[in-house]
Amino acid sequence: MGIVKIADELHEEIRKASGAMSRSINAQAEFWLKMGMLAELHPTHNYQQLLQMLMRQADVKAADVKVMTGSMNERRTA
């Protein structure tokens, strides 16, 4: 395990987000690092697709459930 130095302002944002997400500060920082890395590796994927990738890697069965985004708009235009 190493030490990563970050700006005080970013640390404060991580601290606030960790409280909102019920994660430790380290877990929140690690989550943001993972998501940033996945976003760079898969630039055409959206946030929900990246989360599904993480869930599948963890063998979470619910990860195969499709998220219905925009379904209300699709019904209105059909």
Asked if 17 and 27 count as a contact pair (C-beta separation under 8 A), the reply is no
When pLDDT is cut at 50, 70 and 90, the band that residue 3 belongs to is: confident
Taking residues 31-50, report their average pLDDT: 96
When pLDDT is cut at 50, 70 and 90, the band that residue 41 belongs to is: very high
Q: What are the residue boundaries of the structural domains of the chain, listed by start?
A: 1-41, 44-78
Q: Buried b vs exposed e over 57-75: b needs ≥16 C-beta within 10 Å? A: eeeeeeeeeeeeeeeeeee
CA–CA separation, 21 vs 43, rounded Å? 25
- % of the chain residues with pLDDT over 90: 63
Where helices occur in the chain by DSSP H, the ranges are 8-20, 25-41, 47-57, 71-77
